[in-house]
Structure 1
Amino acid sequence: MKKVYDFHTHTFLSDGALICSEQIRHAQINNYGAIAITDHVDASNIDFILNSLNKFIDTEKKYFKNINIIPGVEITHVPPVIINDLAKYAKENGAQIVVIHGETIVEPVFEGTNHYAVRSKYVDILAHPGIISAEDVEEAVNNDIFLELSARRGHSLSNGHVSKLAKQFGAKLLVNSDAHEPDDFLNYEFALKVALSSGLEYEEAIEVIENNPLLLLKRGY
């Protein structure tokens, strides 16, 4: 059975339904090879999130076999001008993956979030970037930042636009669940459907769900 890779999920530490142990057990059942826990953060809670997550990983990670558990954050709804500083702080304090909550079309994210996110060397993934501009996709390429094809209802509405520009400029894509509930976890077949429904050809979709995650993991996570 082919492995699933998911770099954008939420637990009870922010607005998810599951504690970390439950999160990882659900991921195991769905044959995840790697999962990042990326709870929502801003300046008010980033220390709490990272301290709690790293305590869980230090205590329990060794008991969950055959799955790579990656500590991360999703920087969410912050003023765009502080994205770089907050992403840097996250990396310095235990986050191995930094996701930015992009300018999804279904939430009132600050205009300029995408612009600042793709220009930070501390950012790994721009999640559900909505109607992202061609200029910002080019910057994502220049800074080796992955763009997300979201499996989450609402956020997924702009997947076709993101996929089109990614193909035009050579940006790397990932399919992520943005899981908040037990029913949100990906399986291989659904991840493939998300990629294909964005307008990718079959071989392109396979690259996104099988090969691109390995490129991210090669960064040392």
Structure 2
Amino acid sequence: MIDLHTHTIFSDGVLIPAELARRAEVIGYKALCMTDHADEATLYHILENVRRFVDKHGHFFDLTLMAGVELTHVPPALIGEMTEAARKAGAQIVVVHGETPVEPVAPGTNLAAIEAGVDVLAHPGMITDEEVKLAVEKGVAIEITTRRGHSLTNGHVAAMARKHGARLVINNDAHAPGDLVSRELREKVGLGAGLTKEEYRRTEANAWEIVQRCMK
């Protein structure tokens, strides 16, 4: 299991990085990225601290740990430059908080994130044909989420990804210990979204490919 979208006390998560890593390790995750909510005010503070933890403590855990950010409620016009700034500041993975149906995310966020070439577009809500086709061109992975609320449009996301051949990943968007779901529940979420078992297995392979690329 791989999770590319989690949160610590450096945004609105409840766990320090060490406890999040330990809990994920015990459940059986093999790779995990800490992607706290970031905007211009918090980006550098998050990455300085989480990247230091990953670099100094990561090899003590039996899973691959990465430092990233989830650009959240950033004006679409600024997503491109903030993606570049995050990478320069040490983000191994850049996620953007997509147009979920349960939060007032600015219209145009999905498209701006894809145009910026982020690694993962999280919970993109009613993502359009145009956006998914561009995600295929840009190599941006689209998220199926296990998180309540955000998961309301998982079925639409899965159908659109299948229609256009987009890469899907399954993430927990974990904020608390109970959000790190088991392998069995991850599979149920994927199948419940309409994925076949082979498509579900492919989500894990997609995530591992992202990990390998971002660790180089």
Contact 2:169–2:206 (CA under 8 A) maintained in structure 1: yes
Q: Hey, what's the Cα distance between the residues in 2 that align with 1:61 and 1:128?
A: 27
Matched, 1:202 2:204: no
Q: Hey, what's the Cα distance between the residues in 1 that align with 2:66 and 2:182?
A: 18
Distance 1:59 1:218, change over 3 A: closer
Instruction: Tell me the number of residue pairs that the alignment of Structure 1 and Structure 2 aligns.
Output: 215
Q: How does 1:28-107 map to 2 (within 5 A)?
A: 28-64=25-61, 66-107=62-103
1:112 maps to what in 2? 108
2:132 maps to what in 1? 137
Aligned AA (1:113): T
Which is helix-richer, 1 or 2?
2
Structure 1: gaps spanning 5 or more residues: none
Q: When the two structures are superposed, what TM-score results if normalisation uses the length of structure 2?
A: 0.97
RMSD of aligned residue pairs (Cα, Å): 0.9
Q: Hey, what's the Cα distance between the residues in 1 that align with 2:163 and 2:15?
A: 38
Shift of 1:60: 1.3
Aligned AA (2:212): K
Superimposed CA distance per residue, residues 144-173 of structure 1 (whole angstroms, 9 cap, x where no aligned partner): 000000100000000000000000000000
Matched, 1:190 2:185: yes
Q: Hey, what's the Cα distance between the residues in 2 that align with 1:115 and 1:130?
A: 12
Structure 2: gaps spanning 5 or more residues: none
Shift of 1:55: 1.6
Aligned AA (1:215): E
Shift of 1:54: 1.4
Q: When the two structures are superposed, what TM-score results if normalisation uses the length of structure 1?
A: 0.95
